[in-house]
A and B are shown apart, each in its own frame.
Chain A
Amino acid sequence: MKKISSIDELKKAGEKGAKSLFPSSVKIIVGMATSGIASGADKVYEALDKEIKKKKLPYILAKTGSMGMDFIEPLVDVIEKDKPRLSFGKMTPEKVPQLLEQIGKGNIDKIKPIYRTDAEDIIAKCEKKHYLKGNVSEYLKDIPQMEAIPFYKKQIKIATRNCGVIDPESIDEYIARGGYLSLHKALTTMSANEIIDEIIKSGLRGRGGGGFPAGVKWQSCRSAHGDIKYVICNGDEGDPGAYMDRSIMEGDPHSVIEGMIIGAYAIGAQEGFIYVRNEYPLAVANLTKAIGDARSRGMLGKNILGTNFSFDIKISKGAGAFVCGESTALMASLEGKAGEPRAKYIHTVEHGLWDRPSNLNNVETWANVPVIISRSGKWFSEIGIPNNSGTKVFSLVGKVNNIGLVEVPLGIPLKDIVYDIGGGIPGNRKFKAVQTGGPSGGCIPASMIDLSVDFDSLWDAGSMMGSGGMIVMDEKTCMVDLARYFIEFLVSESCGKCTPCREGVRRMNDILHDICAGKGREGDIELLEAMAKGIKDGSLCALGGSAPNPVLSTIKYFREEYDAHIRQKRCPAGVCRALIKYEINAKKCTGCTVCAKKCPSGCISGEKKKAHKIDQKKCIKCGICMESCKFDAITVK
């Protein structure tokens, strides 16, 4: 492939990409991110491929990343010339022949799309490009536009701008949506200081958890002494419940690469590293392909885009250690050592990887950079609220109807995310809390549903932004069990370097286990609080320093649940096994025998068509009876 060394050549590549994004023949696109594949997108793709070949249809079949609408995956998009792009949800291989039959006939009588896209907002280029020419046909009038459906209405896509739209393996499609134009602008028209000024003006704060202003960090690294400097991308998304970085690396790897090259130029770095979790094989594959393509097209390597600037990126795979999300631990891991953090008073921007100045940002932060350069820092700073500018991607998961990735302006009320975008809680259950910030974060109770979602408000509420996991919980989630879950997680993930974290968290875990097992004692809550203070004060790194947060925030907002466990030996949510029992409501039980057949311990007995009974002595409380009962006859107390 020829190297690109001028703006004309870049634009030419963009034109080629635009032809494939807005094709003149029928194009069918399958969302093939990890979540799509796990929902069966690969089987849908295979079926489409087979059927298209069998019928010799002149259709293009392509892959893309995830739009974030995980609750309707597998998602298939169809583009016909001059017509809106149509999106079909919950596709199956069985529906494939019907879908292909209706394409070209100008109707949607067999399968209805969930939404249509008349035009594409290309945010990096500040441009709208239309699929639809003329008026929308009669039969599509009732299909809502993408931006009108509740899930998308309040979203602004900056970091995830290309996910689910472009083929992540196509550099030309990335360029067609404004990709690498920012890099060209930065390298040919801006000085390093101008770039840093723009990032400072934008107010972009690190999206990995700390929320430190990215521009200030870049500035410090640029000013640090040393000829050799590094930029690092933290793709070790360790917070359980957060997966936006996976989605960006899988669906739009070039946005991260472009951000890093701009950063490297501004800071004066020659080498970059992307540290990716080992658990994300598709992200590694797509990044590897993207780096190779960028290199062969002249965006990486010597004399980038024909300028004097040279820079290259290597991928490093993590090996499964939560603490490696911490910057100093990550750098130790990059050096091939055990990932133990070190004291923070030696700044990594001065003494980082191999003791050289190193600038680390996470995936989402890097992905924002090209858009800031193209649209200006001022434009970015006007999105969101003061001191919390721009957008943040959240993974909205748990007990919520519309599960998926959402990118919203900072400062949006929590209520809007849970109810308007998330569609509320399934099964008419009561909303109880949202957990944010992973094991370092805390719980926001239902009473604070109007809270502004931004770095500072979450911190003040006793939680934190973290990398953006948002786990919604209903009345069936036990908050004591949740605190125990996080603490148990941290016990096994503590690197063991300092005692307060290694031993203290373990002791907190013992106490929480006792409480959940019905062996809690008066004074346990106070003891947990006292230990939390010691651990917070005495730990070296953020993992230990924030480890007690899940316990403290659940005590703060759900103290009565702790009391119920300790004093009444009762788990109000019906989760802690030692404190619950399953019973059959004789009035509702139809005697269908399904539960008795499925019970692994054989503790359910009864005659056919008559109410059954559970032998409490034999019951192992696995809950399978409740899962399988169609008549809602099993209760848990």
Chain B
Amino acid sequence: MTARRLPEGGEVDRSRPLSFTFDGRPVQGFHGDTLASALLASGERVLGRSFKYRRPRGIWGAGTEEPNVYADATDGPRFHPNLRVTLEPARDGLDLRSANSSPSARADRLGFLDLFARFLPSAFYYKTFFWPNWHVYEPAIRRMAGLGRIKPSSAPLPDGDQRNHHCDTVVVGAGPVGIAAALGLSRSGESVVLVDDGSRIGGSLLFRSARIDGMPGANWLAAAEADLRQLGVTVLTRTTAFGIYDHGLIALNQRRDDGPDRLWRVRPRRIVLAAGAVERPLPFAANDLPGVMSAEAALGYLRRQAVLPGLRIVVATNNSSTDEVAAAMTAAGAEVTVVDARQGRRVARALGRRMVTGVVLEDGTRIPCDCVLVSGGFTATVHLHAQAKGRLRWDDARLSFVPEAPVAGLVTVGAAAGHFALAEALAALPETLGLPDVPVADSAPYDITPLWPRPGQPGRVWIDLQHDVTAKDVELAARENMVSVEHLKRYTTLGMATDQGKTSNLAGMALMGALTGRSIPEVGTTTYRPPFAPVPYTSLAGPRGGSRMNPVRRLACEARHREIGASLGDYGGWLRPAHYGSDDSAILAEAKLARAAVGLFDASPLGKIEVIGPDAAAFLDFIHYNTVSTLKPGQCRYGFILAESGVVYDDGVLVRLDDHRFVVSCSSAHVAGVHGLLEEWRQDRFPAARIAIHDATAETATLTVSGPKARATLAAAGIDADLSDTAFPHMTTRWHGSGEAALRLTRVSFTGDRSYEVSVRQDLAPPLWDRLAAAARAEGGGPIGIEALMILRAEKGFIVIGKDTDGMTRPMDLGVSGPMKAKKVDFLGRRSLFTDEAQRADRNQLVGLLPADGFGPLPVGAHGIDLSGTTPRSIGYITSSHPGAALDHPVALGLIERGAERHGQEITLHHLGQRRRATLCPPCFLDPKGERLHA
């Protein structure tokens, strides 16, 4: 416990202390701490457990690359699993639990697993657990896996926020290079968004010394911040650019102090990628011990939060970036030993069991220490470039993949482009961005010597810290011929942890290359996939839940329905009265009422698509299965629209208002589809024709009055048209009144009883409803819901498309073969009616079914079965089933094999393991002659 807070320095505000708990122990910190820096300052080293072997782990890094320390956080009533302690500001009152341990990271119950590590190499699970089978072992393994835990009992997290934004340029990364780019582009007149995942902009300037334009880096940064403000650059801190998508969209996730995370979808003209680079570990045995950490991160903790990571520090390095680290640690009072591979000195292994206590060099030198700061060089953060399908080039001097060339709309600068020295990075800006005037920095050149894991290296050398992938695992993969980079990844799980291999992938590839005689670029990289860092589901889901998800459409008369206690339900995307009152026994009562007197039904969702123009009739002749052009003005005709496959796509009544004006009515769930189909064929096949198509469904409400008292109800409601059968026969339409309040009366029936559809501009529907409802009640009837209507239409054998038909039903299967045989002109789907399949004799056909076993209504979804073979065979199924309203027995409709020729035969039904018997009959149960239409 030797890390500690220095008495002065850093960004932390010592006048604002705070405290939180970690694994039940209090941790003190200051405003300006991250959770990680406060934990580090507390002196506690073991802060996490690795995924597989449950090895003790401490903090490695200071950003999104952190592989080791995650915590489940209770934040008041809310709960966040797998919190990255390196990214979150310390907050008072948080209760943290290390994510993959029980009861605590310090004393994990499963810590013993590491003793068996030799028997649990990568992919061991593919080689065992055969007997008796995997199911026996799986539950225990599931419980051991996982990282943090979800807490279902906590308060639901609020909806994420989402925002769309347009600008000229998004600069990703607000280090000195990103800031310089943002300033330059803004000065040249561009609108710029500058994004950084840290809590402050400045990047390395926040903890590395630099001289820019002759002044200390901190001074330059302060001036730059003022300039950015003055220029109006949008600066988003704590914001991660996590993905680049098609057509130049860049997605950002912003972590906010005052609300849930916010997703930004930004569409800039150009993206400047200045995302920096990530420091790599060094390959030596036991390089995963707590106390071994990134030198760059440690410098950050020292300079920003005044946390000295140890008193006796070994700086192990292969590059020049650690020169400043060693000097800073020494200046802060630590005893520092540098082990620099550039001078031929390398660490062979770290000593210690629960935390590092020393190192042994390859030459045998033993150095006691309490902290090892390592730098294996830097890996350019090229993720977004690669996501944008940019190619990568291996830079043998800098030992990193770097962008080969800019891709359209995206240019990479700074360390992300491999310019690891600041002077070099800034000097490249004029050429890459076309900026005339950029700051000049003094910095030492970057110097590095290769130091990769070597085949046969002794000890356990960790490559992927979180997933416990060691050099031996990579060797095992090579031995088993899992040599492609994707096989390496999937077989060993290297790079598949929550850090997505930011610190580990390159070392794994280098070792695989060495094992198979290939260079690193020959091994190649895995595909870079979004997100760059994990993104909360809430950000991506946004405010789309509950009633905002696939919102239902509303009736103009909804308030009227609610007033009389309607039970509303989602029917084909519309919120409609199922029945009135909360008790569904009302359904049959409503149906009986409609049969005996009159029912008033809100049929507004019924599709009403107007087809207008001199060529409309010829057009509809092509669209419809039935002939349309022979219809006289004022007449209606029931018919089908087929898909080109010959399947019945929709049915409905076609109304001819006048010579040039038709209303195509269609099922409420099919309005958009029918409208699209009409437009498609108009534009494709009738491009020069004089036709206009208009979907009038939303603007028109339709109230249907049905029953023996329907005519009287209309009259009582004050609709004083001549409703006599001679003036207004069945299957005709007429206008009543004029102007805006005109009613369109259509005499069609979906119940078998005398019925009138009354259509009116939707905002005028509620008063009309009131009049009709009062009149219906006066006639002994009343409102009915859609469930009652389903009974009425089923008794009459009227079908509902999509319920009583399926995706194979042809019109002949519904008993309508006239147009196929007789229609003169070509129509949609015609050719498909003459295929072998359509002409097959054993097709499923619409039939009626009656219970033949004395039990109640036949269950919907029951299948007819043929038991003549060795195994049962389905011969179709029941599609609708209802108790009778006019009839004293239940009725059912179904699609049954050869059904049309088998009326009178009994069949066996299968339903959920039970058998029933049913008699096939014609699908019309009630009034086959149609006398009730005129009653």
- Chains A and B come from one and the same complex: no
Partner-A contacts on B (CB < 8 A): none
